Amino acid sequence: MRLYEYEAKRIFARRGLPVPPGVVIDRNSYQNLDKVIYPVVIKAQAFAGGRGKSGLIQFASDHTEALEKISNLLGQEHAGYTIDRVLVEQKITIKQELYLAVIIDRLEHRYLIMTSRQGGVEIEEVAQTSPQALLKYHLNPGSVIAPFMARKVASGLRLNGPLLNAGTELVLGLYRLFLGYDCKVAEINPLVVSDDDRLFALDAKVDLDEDAMYRHPDLKELGITARHEVGELTERERIAKRAGIPYVDLDGDIGVFPGGAGFGIAAIDLIQHYGGRPANFMDSGGAPTQEKLRTMLGLLLDNPRVKAIFGARFGGISRCDDWARAVVQYVVENRPTKPMIMRMAGNMEEQGRKIIEQAKSVHAEFFKKIKVYAYDMPIEEVIKETIRAAQEEKQ
Amino acid sequence: MRLYEYEAKRIFARRGLPVPPGVVIDRNSYQNLDKVIYPVVIKAQAFAGGRGKSGLIQFASDHTEALEKISNLLGQEHAGYTIDRVLVEQKITIKQELYLAVIIDRLEHRYLIMTSRQGGVEIEEVAQTSPQALLKYHLNPGSVIAPFMARKVASGLRLNGPLLNAGTELVLGLYRLFLGYDCKVAEINPLVVSDDDRLFALDAKVDLDEDAMYRHPDLKELGITARHEVGELTERERIAKRAGIPYVDLDGDIGVFPGGAGFGIAAIDLIQHYGGRPANFMDSGGAPTQEKLRTMLGLLLDNPRVKAIFGARFGGISRCDDWARAVVQYVVENRPTKPMIMRMAGNMEEQGRKIIEQAKSVHAEFFKKIKVYAYDMPIEEVIKETIRAAQEEKQ
Amino acid sequence: MAIIIDNNIETIVQGVTGTNAALHTKFMLEYGTKIVGGVTPGKVGQEVEGIPVYDTVMDCLAEHPNATVSSVWVPPRFAKDAILEAIDAGIKTIIVITERIPVHDMLYARCVAQEKGIMIIGGNTPGVISPGKALIGMLPKIAFQPGRIGTVARSGAVTYYVANSLNLAGLGESTSVGLGGDPILGTNFEDVLRLFEHDDETDAVVMAGEIGGVYEELAAPYIKEMSKPVIAYITGKAAPQGKRLGHAGAIIEGKMGTAASKIIALEKYGALIAQTLSEIPGLVKKTLGRDVS
Amino acid sequence: MAIIIDNNIETIVQGVTGTNAALHTKFMLEYGTKIVGGVTPGKVGQEVEGIPVYDTVMDCLAEHPNATVSSVWVPPRFAKDAILEAIDAGIKTIIVITERIPVHDMLYARCVAQEKGIMIIGGNTPGVISPGKALIGMLPKIAFQPGRIGTVARSGAVTYYVANSLNLAGLGESTSVGLGGDPILGTNFEDVLRLFEHDDETDAVVMAGEIGGVYEELAAPYIKEMSKPVIAYITGKAAPQGKRLGHAGAIIEGKMGTAASKIIALEKYGALIAQTLSEIPGLVKKTLGRDVS
């Protein structure tokens, strides 16, 4: 889960890593601007590389200039998200830009400390154009870092004299932060040497493991809570998250109600492959309760963009009878008018089928647009029929 | 550095290990007795095995009885030390006594967790009479303990049901305390299961590494400061400690002023071997300053028991000229009247000799009883002469 | 002999008293899997489906010394410890059903396992099945039939649908392996491809990957070395960037882990690419040049 | 060739800019020891007695790849890291002058060294000298003369007095090794006895132990296996119980580590016991049955 720069820097500050003095400003906290020392850098808080080029980083030498530029930035749209906050920091005079990161090496399954004397540019670029400028130090998962190791890293950045010790402390601190907060990435780019020979983390990128956040209750104190890996949640995504349902809004018109995350991914592919447009990704997880199944159906059917529902249940961990019961109860209580084209196979299929047949016979009118196919109907045929149903609805 | 039971239990409590509720009482804090729940156990705080047999552990069922027994215990002499404090704890009804310890295995150079279902007796006894009752688990130095490992230990104690989890937590806690406070020993004997199926550390033995105490500033908060490995310091030992001089009071009449700890140990042996009685152990450490050397001499010469001084300097790290200068200055300023028989050899011996010869020629009267032999005089002859000098002084 | 599990292996269940684990212990026993013991700390003396429960894996193996495989069903915060315990006790293959294990925990457990030559499958694996012989995990038996096609997939449901489409076309599986949906996996595609390559009960392999990570790309070069055909089905072509799709591992991070990059890598080294589930059996039959069952 | 250090070894000094280290760097150089570089973080570019200073051991070895021995003079709280750094950089023998290193730190460093086959001497060693060849540490050269007696002791000053009494009797040392006064030692008596046993420049060994720990007792059985005579001198017979005598390791803990227990063990396995320093040369000469020099 990628943090905003200001969030990452709050963690840095808590761990004693050197960040420039600064304040966070949103529409309701312009008064924070009184605390800064000019000249300042104004940095829009957005998940974007090359913020400088996109005008998302600006400079101001006095209050009036800062105010104008901040109010200009706030509310801007960028890559689909609105800029709600800026970080205003005292401007550091830069003598040198370096790169320092601790990441998980997915090939080696080990931790990797990476440094470069070419900081301030995309590290992927450095890796391609001058790989010899990139120094790498591997550590085994879970292992502590010895001070000498950190000193080796700092020395590799050719920091010396008092800067060597400052650099050593910084490497120790960043590695311990990486380990201590279950990070996937902890990156400083650029790490700068100021004109008065101090080190500063000018930018900070932290990527947390959402599945380990329970171990770090202090993140909440810092205002950091679970969300998308990158970016904010939509309203429906928030509702789903609260209910423990993995759910992502897409921009199509076919609601996807699958069982299992992997097939959820396959389903949106197949819908697209056959010319339809999925409205969402969803995962029922291992063995969903009936209540959870009904919440899931509600999320789809209440979405005005959704014209038809594609549903699939391969009863493995979860049972077809439970699934059928949930579907029937939802339909009877909510009387949805959108077509629902579904397939049910696997464990307890027969019992599930009986439940649905019985409901149909009692409430035939509610089930007019609802189909539940069986094992012998290939899943892709079900998808094609859903796409046709959605197109008919639109007309 | 061995802690008193009440000190060890304060650390236990801080780390969440289960100790019976209790209070510490000395001559000035009888009022603490108001907080206890009867019946109670009254435990004299002394470094002694088998306190029960020596009457150092007593029981009381009400306030009057407790008061009487406590005032009886306080001030008692035991193995050379006065009992200044008692620990008064709620009496636990014992269903079972176990043994649990984390120690450093000096043979293997690893950590060792030891358990036994035969708790409450000296573990050395168990080791001799029924070694199969002793379970041992080794861990590598510095390594963290996995919960499953702790569970294995608890399971080896045949704790089960809810007690298994309580035992697992206790093993985890004790091991982490051992590692976290740089312990040489962290022992619970007995670890008891109470009649209501709870675990309690009924006794607690903690042995700290004095050389690592700088890492644990919170020990000071708990009132734990450096002292002898076992036992309190004498007044002279306290003065020496403050000055950074390893010094131990012995009960003889020959002051020992050696260079180096190892030869200090040899010197007290040799004095004894030749029929003398050393008044102290002392170590000048690596390269003592002149000021430190003068403090050392003062410690010996101000001791009324001391009749003569044996001195030795083998100039290695330290230089003979520095040593000679310190001796001369002390003598000139303090005009000691006790005989000082010494030998000086090694680095800068010649320069040192000149300094002493010159002082002698100026202040002949102060140096009447002072001899400084050279390289060619065997050290044991110097010792013999010192013993003779001490005997003459006594007459 | 089938890969990983066969009808003669003895297995234990860690976290056996949990609801899901207990239910699937029943299903596994019904399938014929030899479960000899279960482990839940503090519950020694209980039984689950007639299987004795122990406090520790060590205690369990003391009674059942031939058990070599364990499945782990404990909550995610206990998964690392359960795996380490199994390794310490001498288990050789650890099938980790638990999902959403913290990344650092799994990296550590993986590192220990690798040092000691222990196989971990998962986390978040649906399990492994050698149809007609043994099943460890929560795969629905109805989705599988004995045959000579090896399958390996990241996702559980995709494992079922792949087998399902093979079965509907008259093909069956030698072994189906779920690698798991977590981002750090104990066993990856290449490991399983190597096992199938050397398995004389397997004629061809279907591998089903999805967005996220680089395990598919890493396996690609080995496909060229293989004598057996590999049919690859990769999902997530329609996935948005930067959002986890249910599985902790199913996320496109920056330029890494897209369906396109995986398909390009696999195709380059000779895998046949299925665009849909329904294309899979046709490609298998075509490449084998005959009707196999 | 002498044991541990000889006139052809190249050596570095960790913590070289400290007062003591700088002084003894001078003495070592004067003795002929080949010091090629020093290390103090943050002080690259300086010189000590003409020896270049580096920030890290790695940097130092990059310039002086033949250095195999390091002496460590840093303050106790940095000792563990200095040892680990030396090991990491490829140093083979680490002579740790630093005293009062926390016990857990030394146990850890010792464990790492042992896994990698690295020799640590100390902590709190006065050093090692092969008279006339090389000296590493802070032993005073005046106390030693070339000869054919190996000596090994825990304490620095005792090392000097032992050599001194040998020299006064016309004997000299092949190598004198200070094991160190700290409670946890990298190298113990048995290790050094083994080296002397296989050293063709050594005829007999004097070992000087003291109260505390069990290293003397542990070495005893090996003495019986040796072809060379061992004269043992143990100090601390007059020592009180439970009090550290200067050295962190010199303490009688409960019944462990008394002078009596050490003497009994050594005598049992054939060591000749010297009651005083002055008895040592006589016992050496007697056991060798001749006048050696």
Domain boundaries, chain B: 21-90, 94-221, 235-394
Other chains touching B, judged by 3 or more CB pairs under 8 Å = C, D
Angle of helix C76-89 relative to helix C103-116, nearest 10 degrees? 10
Report chain B's mean pLDDT, rounded to a whole number: 91
Collapsing DSSP to helix, strand or coil, D57 comes out as helix
Q: Is A146's pLDDT higher than 70? A: yes
Alpha helices for chain B (secondary structure H): 5-14, 63-73, 123-129, 147-156, 162-180, 218-221, 235-242, 261-273, 290-301, 320-334, 349-362, 379-394
Chain CA centroid to CA C155, Å:
9
pLDDT band for position C240 (50/70/90)?
confident
Contact A230 C241 (CB under 8 A): yes
Contact A146 D84 (CB under 8 A): yes
Q: Which residues contact C46 (CB under 8 A, 6 or more apart)?
A: C17, C40, C52, C53
The Cα C72–Cα C127 span in angstroms is: 10
State the average pLDDT over residues B140-152: 96
State the average pLDDT over residues A160-175: 96
Contact C57 B146 (CB under 8 A): no
Q: Is C235's pLDDT higher than 50? A: yes
Collapsing DSSP to helix, strand or coil, C43 comes out as coil
In this complex, which of A214, A263, A375 lies closest to C158 when CB atoms are compared?
A: A263
Give pLDDT, residue B270.
96
The answer to whether B228 touches B246, Cβ cutoff 8 Å, is: no
Looking at residue A133, the DSSP 8-state letter turns out to be G
Backbone angles phi, psi at A371, to 5 degrees: -125, 140
Q: What is the DSSP string of A134-145?
A: EEEEEE-TT---
Q: Which residues contact A89 (CB under 8 A, 6 or more apart)?
A: A19, A20, A21, A22, A36, A40, A41, A43
Chain CA centroid to CA B263, Å:
21
Angle (nearest 5°) at CA C84 between C208 and C2: 40
Share of chain A above pLDDT 90, in %: 71
State the average pLDDT over residues D53-73: 97
Rg (CA), chain C: 18
Q: Please give the C-alpha separations between residue B36 and each of B90, C157, D267, in angstroms, as whole numbers.
A: 7, 63, 56
* Cα nearest neighbour of C237 on chain A: A269
Q: Considering only residues 170 to 189 of chain C, which have any Cβ-Cβ distance to chain A shorter than 8 Å? A: 181, 184
Dihedral angle sign, alpha carbons of residues A328, A333, A334, A335 = positive
Which tokens go with C217? Answer: 């790309």
Give pLDDT, residue B189.
94
* Cα nearest neighbour of D58 on chain A: A152
The Cα D109–Cα B186 span in angstroms is: 22
A268 touches chain C (CB under 8 A): yes
Q: Which residues contact A378 (CB under 8 A, 6 or more apart)?
A: C165, C168, C278
Which tokens go with B201? Answer: 């550390």
- Residue A270: CA count within 13 A, CB half-sphere: 28
pLDDT band for position B286 (50/70/90)?
low
The answer to whether B177 touches B113, Cβ cutoff 8 Å, is: no
Amino acid present at B83:
I
D and A in touch (3+ CB pairs within 8 angstroms)? yes
pTM of the model: 0.91
Give pLDDT, residue B287.
61
Give pLDDT, residue B292.
83
Give pLDDT, residue B121.
86
Chain C interface test: which of B135, B138, B139, B148 (most C C-beta within 10 Å): B148
Give pLDDT, residue B285.
60
- Residue B282: CA count within 13 A, CB half-sphere: 31
Share of chain A above pLDDT 70, in %: 97
Report chain C's mean pLDDT, rounded to a whole number: 94
CATH topology of domain A21-90: Dna Ligase; domain 1 (3.30.1490)
Q: Is D293's pLDDT higher than 50? A: no
Superfamily of domain A94-221: ATP-grasp fold, B domain (3.30.470.20)
Q: Please give the C-alpha separations between residue D238 and each of A157, A297, B143, B272, in angstroms, as whole numbers.
A: 57, 87, 39, 7
Contact D157 B262 (CB under 8 A): yes
Q: Is C291's pLDDT higher than 60? A: no
Residue labelled with tokens 């010895």: A146
Other chains touching D, judged by 3 or more CB pairs under 8 Å = A, B
Contact C56 B168 (CB under 8 A): no
State the average pLDDT over residues A180-189: 96
* Cα nearest neighbour of C39 on chain B: B148
C158 touches chain A (CB under 8 A): yes
The Cα B186–Cα B9 span in angstroms is: 11
| pLDDT one-digit tens code per residue, A371-385 | 999 888 889 999 999
pLDDT band for position B96 (50/70/90)?
very high
Q: The domain A235-394: what is its CATH number?
A: 3.40.50.261
Contact D111 B109 (CB under 8 A): yes
C and A in touch (3+ CB pairs within 8 angstroms)? yes
B and D in touch (3+ CB pairs within 8 angstroms)? yes
Contact A209 C138 (CB under 8 A): no
A157 touches chain D (CB under 8 A): no
Give pLDDT, residue C293.
44
| pLDDT one-digit tens code per residue, D95-107 | 999 999 999 999 9
The answer to whether C21 touches C12, Cβ cutoff 8 Å, is: no
* Cα nearest neighbour of C213 on chain A: A106
C260 touches chain A (CB under 8 A): no
The answer to whether B255 touches B300, Cβ cutoff 8 Å, is: yes
| pLDDT one-digit tens code per residue, A289-317 | 778 888 888 999 999 999 999 999 887 66
Give pLDDT, residue C84.
98
Dihedral angle sign, alpha carbons of residues B317, B319, B322, B327 = positive
Report chain A's mean pLDDT, rounded to a whole number: 91
Q: Which residues contact D44 (CB under 8 A, 6 or more apart)?
A: A160, A164, D53, D54, D55, D59
Give pLDDT, residue A186.
97
Neighbours of A117 (CB within 10 A): 17
In this complex, which of A111, A211, A317 lies closest to C20 when CB atoms are compared?
A: A317
Q: Give the distance from residue D288's alpha carbon to the nearest chain B alpha carbon, in angstroms.
A: 23
Q: Is A318's pLDDT higher than 80? A: no
pLDDT band for position B229 (50/70/90)?
low
State the average pLDDT over residues A50-55: 81
Give pLDDT, residue B232.
77
Nearest to D133 by CA among D181, D69, D64, D65: D69
The answer to whether A233 touches A227, Cβ cutoff 8 Å, is: yes
Residues of A in contact with C186 (CB under 8 A): none
Chain A interface test: which of D55, D60, D78 (most A C-beta within 10 Å): D55
Q: Is C78's pLDDT higher than 70? A: yes
Which tokens go with D71? Answer: 């002496």
Other chains touching A, judged by 3 or more CB pairs under 8 Å = C, D
Neighbours of A157 (CB within 10 A): 24
Q: Is D174's pLDDT higher than 50? A: yes
Give pLDDT, residue C290.
61
Q: Is B317's pLDDT higher than 70? A: no
Give pLDDT, residue D290.
61
| pLDDT one-digit tens code per residue, A89-126 | 999 999 999 999 999 998 899 999 999 999 988 888 88
pLDDT band for position A287 (50/70/90)?
low
Q: Do domains B94-221 and B235-394 have the same CATH topology?
A: no
- Beta-strand pair A40-44/A86-90: antiparallel
The residues of B that are catalytic are: 99, 187
The answer to whether A69 touches A30, Cβ cutoff 8 Å, is: no
Domains located in chain C, CATH noted: 10-121 (3.40.50.720), 140-287 (3.40.50.261)
| pLDDT one-digit tens code per residue, C137-169 | 999 888 899 999 999 999 988 999 999 999 989
Nearest to B335 by CA among B293, B378, B365: B365
